[in-house]
Every structure is written in C-alpha cells, then in structure tokens.
Amino acid sequence: MKASQVNIRNKKARFNYEIGDTFTAGIILTGTEIKSIREGKASLSDSYCVIDRGEVWVKGMHIAEYFYGSYNNHVARRDRKLLLNRKEIEKLSKQSSDAGYTIVPIKVFISDKGYAKMVIGVGKGKKQYDKRQSIKEREDKRNIDRMFKK
C-alpha cells in the first residue's frame, strides 16, 4: 500500500459530533505499530483524546498486532502521545474545557515524508434530532444523485 493510500477514518465522528476546529498532529509509535498502520490495520472507533499535564494523548485507538512482529509486537490498545505545538495544545484545552465538548480523532494518514499523522477535532455532541436531520440530508443527497445518474 502506498503512503497516500493509507487513510483510516472515524466514520462515526462527524455523525455523532459537530466538529469545529481541526488540527493535524503527529503520533508517537513503535516499529510494529507503524507497519500495521501502513497495512491499514487500525481503527479509530471508540477512541478519544485527553489532555494530561500539557500533553495530548489518544485513548482507545486500536492498532492490530503486526503479523511478522514475533516477540517485538506491541499492545493493540494503548495510550499514544500526539505531537502538537504548545499554542495548539492550549487552544485545544481551552475549547474542550467547555461542557459538552470533546477532542475526537477524525482520521489517520501517512504523510509524504512517511510519518503517521492524525487529524483531531473539537466536537460538540449532537442531539438525537440532529442525527436524524443528518440521516435525512444524506438520503436526500443520494436520491438526487440517483436522479441525475438516470
């Protein structure tokens, strides 16, 4: 898989949250973790970010064990540190400190230089009626696309 083809998304993030600001952060990984990500064997479902002592950590991110890893393999679910500037961390902490806001991982990709990057956003949880509205808009868009296709 080429670097540009690795694109792991959190499909529920935009459905469950109204995403405001987004940031691109580097991820500190071990050798077998980056190999698994390059194979596309990672999941962002049920993951979230926290700020602890001035550092941003992603929790609940699943990276499958590398098949050829032997005894050097990593733990599939562990906390991983994200690399952001101090100003970005301060901005994140200020925005997420409000009630109802959380830091949500949106996608993981491999940069042009070969580094693993994560796009995170500050999101406010949607209510049930907002989710229904999103479903209705998505279905309407599909119907319109079908009409134009015919």
Determine how β-strand 116-125 pairs with β-strand 7-9: unpaired
> Residues 5-54: pLDDT tens digits?
778 888 888 888 888 889 999 999 988 888 889 988 898 988 989 999 98
Q: Is 97 left (phi over 0), alpha (psi -120 to 50) or beta?
A: alpha
What's the CA gap between 118 and 105, in Å, rounded?
Answer: 7
- 1 pLDDT higher than 80: no
Domain locations in the chain as residue ranges = 3-125
Q: Which CATH number fits domain 3-125: 2.60.120.10, 2.40.280.10, 3.40.50.300, 1.10.10.10?
A: 2.40.280.10
- How many angstroms separate the most distant Cα atoms in the chain? 57
pLDDT at 4: 57
Determine how β-strand 42-43 pairs with β-strand 101-110: unpaired
> Residues 38-47: pLDDT tens digits?
988 898 988 9
- Of 77-81, 93-97, 103-107, 130-134, least confident by mean pLDDT is 130-134
